[in-house]
């Protein structure tokens, strides 16, 4: 697992945006696994700027998001569908038919998960998977557990995660307690993985990711088991502040 340590959030975001843009320039029909959360927001802003100055073209890009709350209406401003539209897709020329996000309003989540995995398999996996890391080490919404699923599934969110997500919702009862997420198989199908971590709050988890051992109780540590993973951290997340 390679690690790039940037001076601050801005620098981390710029480096990440260039890596994503270079992937798209190299292969205009790239399948890009997008993540949500606060961490990639700066990178998405930079990416939109790189599009508006003509550096990168999204017309061939196929997006494949990691996860979505369940149940949630797509037009709910807190859905990951809205997140992607508001923070990236509305600023670039991605084709709506090329956008893949689990459907948080489906009636049959089991079928939705199987279909979502099937679609990813038919695409041959993602070319580049962008990942944030939860405070408890989760990737996508794969929470720490003794056994982690390979397939996409409907999962219960850990208490820590519900608490962390509550900042986005007005009332505690609105905070979703379940989500549809790609499993470890879908995430690991990517040819390349870019992990973004920022802020002192992530320093403990970054330390665990680079501790020299792996555990399903720290899902992000499992990324050590494969090649092609680059972690971009700012100094604070790298424990240097
Ligand atoms: C959510 C998302 C994850 C994300 C995590 C971290 O749980 N499902 O994909 O990595 O939040 O979020 P943040 O970047 O806001 O710390």
Catalytic hit among 143, 165, 234, 238: 143
Give tens-digit pLDDT for 118-149.
999 999 999 999 999 999 999 999 999 999 99
Beta bridge partners of 130: 194
Structural contact between residues 131 and 196, judged by C-beta atoms closer than 8 angstroms: yes
- Res 89 pLDDT > 90: yes
- Gyration radius (Cα) of the chain, Å: 17
Check residue 240 and give its pLDDT.
86
Could you tell me the pTM of the whole model? 0.97
Give tens-digit pLDDT for 199-216.
999 999 999 999 999 999
Domain ranges of the chain: 14-189+202-209
Alpha helix (H) residue ranges in the chain: 9-26, 41-52, 80-87, 109-123, 159-165, 184-188, 203-209
CATH tag for 14-189+202-209 (out of 3.40.50.1360, 1.20.140.10, 1.20.1730.10, 3.40.50.1370): 3.40.50.1360
Instruction: Give residue 161 CA to ligand 1 midpoint distance, Å.
Output: 9
Say yes or no: CB of residue 133 within 6 Å of ligand 1: yes
Q: What is the atom index within ligand 1 of the atom nearest the CA of 132?
A: 10
What pLDDT band is residue 35 in, cutting at 50, 70 and 90? very high
């Amino acid at each position: 697992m390679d690690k790039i340590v940037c001076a601050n959030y801005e620098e981390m975001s710029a480096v990440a945006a260039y890596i994503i843009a270079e992937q798209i320039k190299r292969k205009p029909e790239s399948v890009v696994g997008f993540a949500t959360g606060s961490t990639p927001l700066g990178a998405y802003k930079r990416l939109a700027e790189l599009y508006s100055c003509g550096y990168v073209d999204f017309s061939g890009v196929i997006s494949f998001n990691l996860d979505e709350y369940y149940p949630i209406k797509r037009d709910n401003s807190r859905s990951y569908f809205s997140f992607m539209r508001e923070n990236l897709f509305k600023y670039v020329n991605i084709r709506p038919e090329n956008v893949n996000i689990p459907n948080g309003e489906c009636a049959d989540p089991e079928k939705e998960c199987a279909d979502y995995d099937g679609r990813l398999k038919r695409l041959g996996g993602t070319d580049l998977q962008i990942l944030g890391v939860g405070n408890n080490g989760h990737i996508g919404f794969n929470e720490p557990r003794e056994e982690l699923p390979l397939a996409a599934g409907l999962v219960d969110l850990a208490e820590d995660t519900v608490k962390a997500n509550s900042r986005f919702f007005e009332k505690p009862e609105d905070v979703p307690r379940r989500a549809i997420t790609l499993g470890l198989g879908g995430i690991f199908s990517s040819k390349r993985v870019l992990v973004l971590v920022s802020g002192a709050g992530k320093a403990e988890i970054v330390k665990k990711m680079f501790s020299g051992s792996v555990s399903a109780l720290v899902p992000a540590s499992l990324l050590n088991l494969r090649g092609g993973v680059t972690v971009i951290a700012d100094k604070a997340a790298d424990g240097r502040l």
